[in-house]
Amino acid sequence: MSREFEMSMIGELNFFLGFQIKQVKGGIFIHQEKYCRDLLKKFKMGDCKPISTPMSTNEHLDADVDGKPVDQSTYRSMIGSLLYLTASRPDIMFSVCLCARFQAAPKESHLTAVKRILRYLKHTPSIGLWYPEGAKTLGILGFGLRRILCRSQEYLRGVPFAWAMALSTAEAEYIAAGACCAQILYMKQSLLDFGVVCGSVPLLCDNESAAKIAKNPVQHSRTKHIDIRHHFLRDHEAKGDITITGVRSKEQLADIFTKPLGEETFCRLRSELNVLDWSNFI
């Protein structure tokens, strides 16, 4: 590159666009501690009371039509700043994205939820992403996430209510796993362009019924209503492109991106993501 461009060596990378990079023996740590502290100061939360999770397990946010409005500009500024922080803090991704839904008409309840995220940052300012050295292999691991699906009543006609509820959950898990499968196939092809060949990719699903539907080649009478386009998951399981694997709900790593969690579970999954505290490496 130096033959083509005028360049100068200014030493090891330490700081870039709000990101702090620490290259130590054993790996690289990326965090935004300074940005985080500046963020707290900017929104006058520097002296707030710390809290151990970004969202309460019993917290439910909705449009809150009758709630008291708050300054829209300030709310949007807070959300924008927090979204930039998610680049090194996937542990706040769910809570920030949930609060971001209400930028059009923010209310006091939404502002309170955002301030709780800031209180969590006060508790964990030096947390970031740890990339350990020595990884010998490159692979893909998929997680099937249930999505909330709005189905027409035609799906439920003639089906007992108790079964309809159970079927709704299994169907949602099955279709979500299908969407995940599509992403896995895209990633496999992209890696193949770089000469990286991936075999059968594990796709972890915490719904036993959905996993059985994917493995069962027979159209059961109670699953025949599912749109045929969603059954390509079953086809790729048969081809060996993916392997549907059951995982216990409490071990579902992706839960940290889909729901508020208690402190013990939240901290355990955060650690499994290699989102660690930089102070432990000093």
DSSP secondary structure string for all residues of 160-212: -HHHHHHHHHHHHHHHHHHHHHHHHHHHHHHHHHTT----SEEEEES-HHHHH
Closest by CA to 108, choosing from 64, 164, 46, is 64
pLDDT tens for each residue of 23-79: 888 888 899 999 999 999 999 998 999 999 999 998 888 989 899 999 999 999 999
Alpha-carbon distance values, 86 to 83, 111, 131, 198, 275 (Å)? 5, 18, 16, 29, 11
Q: In what order do the strands lie in the sheet with 275-277?
A: 15-16, 19-24, 27-31, 127-132, 275-277
Per-residue pLDDT band for 267 (boundaries 50, 70, 90) equals: very high
pLDDT at 249 over 70: yes
Q: Which long-range contacts (CB under 8 A, 24 or more apart) does 166-170 make?
A: 166/209, 167/222, 167/223, 169/207, 169/209, 170/207, 170/209, 170/210, 170/213
Instruction: Give the list of residues 6+ apart from residue 107 with CB closer than 8 angstroms, or none.
Output: 64, 67, 68, 69, 70
pLDDT tens for each residue of 100-159: 999 999 999 999 999 999 999 999 999 999 888 775 556 677 766 553 333 223 222 333
Supply the pTM of this predicted model: 0.71
